[in-house]
Structure formats: C-alpha cells, structure tokens
C-alpha cells in the first residue's frame, strides 16, 4: 500500500520564498515565468496558488490543450469589468510547450484581458534567454531542489508513517536530488512498518526503478533512436560541444534531459543517469 497519495499539494517545505516572488511578479510586472527541473514542483505550486483564491484564478494545464484554445478557459473579462470597477484575476498556464510563439500568445492574452499571468516551463538556459529578449521585463522565478534538511521535513510532514535511519534519509535526498515529485514516487513504492536504510532503499530502487522514475521513462519513450544514442554516450561521460550537432542536443535540452555548461553537454540529473544505467544493464539498451 502506498505511504502517501501523489495528489496531496498542501506540503510546501522550502517554497515560501518562491510563492512570495510569484505573487510579487503577478502584481508587477504581471507576467511571470516559473521554471525548474522536472519534478521540482511547478504544477504543485500552481495548484497551491489556485487553491488560495479559486474564485479569481484560472488554472490551465497546457499538456491538455493548445494555446489557441486556452481562451475558452478564461472568463469574459469585459462583462466582469462592467459589473465591478476593479477585478484582480490570475491565470496560471502549467507546462507551456517550449515554443516562443506560445509564450508570445500568452503575453498577448495577458494584455488583452488586463489580467495577471504566470506560465511554467522546464528549465532551459538558452530558451530562457530567448524569452527574456522576446518579452522584456518578464519576471522569472526558478524552483530550486529541496535541501537535505528540507527533504527530511518534507518527508516527515507528507509521510508521517515513513521510517528511515539517518543514513537512509541522506540516501533519499541524494537519490532524488531534492525533487518533490521523485521523493513522492520513491515513497510510493515502499511499505509501512519497515525502517529503511541505504541498502534496503537501493534494493527497492533496482527492483522498481521504472515506477520511481516514471516521468523520465515517459520522456525516453518519445525519443528517436539517434537521441537515445546521444543519451547513452552521455551516460558514460560529458560530450564536448564541438563534437555533436547543436540541434539534436537543443531538442533534448528542451525536454529537460541535457544541459550545456563549460563547453560540455551532460545529463541534467544523476537520477536520470542511474535510470539509463539500469535500463542498459537490465535490457541491453535504452
């Protein structure tokens, strides 16, 4: 039986500063980009903002709609403005596709309806630079991973029945890299009534790594053979920027799989590296 349900959103350890910055950005300049690695809690923080004021907040999951259809989820602001002199409204667009045109359209909606708008996207340094040039003055809020102490507090509040040794807690933080989605996923393959240490946690990972890392598995299933070969190479070592085609790597970067730093391409996550290693070990390929 899972230790925690995945749909709980009330635990926001280490997110008070980011919530405050998003609220400030919604007030001025009124258009905010929330970014972070896969599993950092972008969807959860949008749900939290929506729950705070559901009567004046619209939450749209862009994985389920097109930017051109998103207008249908927005109230008729002209009619509202006739009824009241001042109406504050937030629109939260989660998981925006990595296309400048989509953000440009959202920015137009922000001005057209005189509303405050926040959109979320995975972190991509190059794409963020492009957006900041396209939309001057936009507020950017990044969600960092939880610290080791925050990870422990998060687990104790979200899964109070979970028991682990001090070394086991350190293992979970190191393994999940402090990303709430993966902390939740790991806890949900474990059982109550056991005190977990590093060795037992490692056994659970090897047996159930596809369940724990299901977001990575979903991304990998959509890749071409050539893209998978690049990831296999990166599993062993970083690749110098000059040795590969930039276009292929940029596509992988927008998926949150790779990053460019110091003239080298590398995987964005040690957890992703472990998943790729296990896939190759158990199945012979990615």
Give the tens place of pLDDT for each residue, 143-192.
999 999 999 999 998 888 899 999 999 999 999 999 999 999 999 999 88
Segment 247-263 mean pLDDT = 89
The answer to whether the CB of 125 falls within 8 A of the CB of 35 is no
Looking at residue 11, what is its pLDDT? 64
CATH superfamily, with its number, for domain 16-142: P-loop containing nucleotide triphosphate hydrolases (3.40.50.300)
Alpha helices in 53-116, H assignment, sequence order: 77-83, 100-112
Name which of 131, 108, 132, 106 is nearest 119 in CA terms.
Answer: 106
Cβ neighbors of 230 (< 8 A, separation 6 or more) are: 239, 244, 248, 249, 252, 258
* Most confident residue range from 68-72, 198-202, 246-250: 198-202
What DSSP letter does each residue of 210-221 carry, written as one string?
Answer: HHHTHHHHHHHT
What's the CA gap between 80 and 267, in Å, rounded? 48
What's the CA gap between 261 and 266, in Å, rounded? 8
User: What's the Cα-to-Cα distance from 284 to each of 221, 264, 274, 278, 280, rounded to whole Å?
Assistant: 16, 26, 14, 9, 4
Segment 202-215 mean pLDDT = 93
Give, in words, the CATH class of 216-283. Answer: mainly alpha
pLDDT of 121 higher than 80: yes
What is the tens place of the pLDDT at every residue in 214-244?
989 999 999 999 999 999 999 999 999 887 7
């Amino acid at each position: 039986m899972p230790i925690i349900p995945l749909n709980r959103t009330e635990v926001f350890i280490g997110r008070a500063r980011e919530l405050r910055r998003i609220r400030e950005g919604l007030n001025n300049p009124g258009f905010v980009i929330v970014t972070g690695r896969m599993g950092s809690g972008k969807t959860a923080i949008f749900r939290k903002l929506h729950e705070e004021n559901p009567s004046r907040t619209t939450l749209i999951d862009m994985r389920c709609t097109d930017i051109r259809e998103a207008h249908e989820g927005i109230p008729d602001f002209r009619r509202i403005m006739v009824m009241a002199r001042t109406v504050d409204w937030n629109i939260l667009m989660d998981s925006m596709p990595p296309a400048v045109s989509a953000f440009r359209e959202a920015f137009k909606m922000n001005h057209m309806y005189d509303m405050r708008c926040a959109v979320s996207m995975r972190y991509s340094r190059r794409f963020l630079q492009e957006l900041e040039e396209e939309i001057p003055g936009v507020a950017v809020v990044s969600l960092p991973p939880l610290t080791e102490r925050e990870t422990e507090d998060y687990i104790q509040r979200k899964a109070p029945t979970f028991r682990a040794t001090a070394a086991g807690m350190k293992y979970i933080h190191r393994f999940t890299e402090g990303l709430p989605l993966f902390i939740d996923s790991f806890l949900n393959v474990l059982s109550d009534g056991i005190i977990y240490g590093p060795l037992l946690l490692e056994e659970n990972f090897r047996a159930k790594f596809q369940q724990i890392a299901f977001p990575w598995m979903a991304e990998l299933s959509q890749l071409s053979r050539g893209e998978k070969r690049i990831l296999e190479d990166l599993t062993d070592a970083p690749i110098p920027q000059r040795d590969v085609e930039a276009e292929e790597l940029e596509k992988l970067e927008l998926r949150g799989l790779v990053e460019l730093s110091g003239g080298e391409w590398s995987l964005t996550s040690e957890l992703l590296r472990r998943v790729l290693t296990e896939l190759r070990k158990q199945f012979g390929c990615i």
